[in-house]
Amino acid sequence: MKVLGSPPRALSAIGQSAAVLAIVLLTFSAFAKDVPGSPHNRSLARSYVVSARNAWGAGSQTQAREKLKLALQADPTYAEAYLLMGFDRVPKRQRC
């Protein structure tokens, strides 16, 4: 027995698919701040790099390396952190 007002099966399946897609998209958008390269992680990585530069300027290379590692964990695409990690490995007498 068909009840008036109930959607056809095909429409119901489309509606269910749309609902699942909406849930998936909302879930991803809720966690977008954890995506590498997102503004949230980039600003966190930048703050670690600033701390690393300050530590390096104060003569604490160990602390600077730790801050750079944290920066790369926050944003693995942050090139400046890689650059400074590499610069740290160049002997002082060979630096520009």
Task: Spell out, as residue ranges, where the chain has pLDDT lower than 70.
Answer: 1-40, 90-96
pTM, rounded to two decimals = 0.57
Which amino acid is residue 6, in one-letter code? S
For residue 86, the model assigns a pLDDT of 85
Q: Give the per-residue pLDDT at 87.
A: 76
Instruction: Count Cβ neighbours within 10 Å for each residue of 42-73 and write b for 16 or more, e otherwise.
Output: bebbbebbebbeebbeeeeeeebbebbebbbe
Q: What is the rounded CA–CA span in Å between residue 71 and residue 69?
A: 5
Share the mean pLDDT of the chain. Answer: 74
At 67 the pLDDT is: 96
Residue 11 pLDDT: 47
- Write down the pLDDT at residue 28: 52
Which amino acid is present at 16? Q
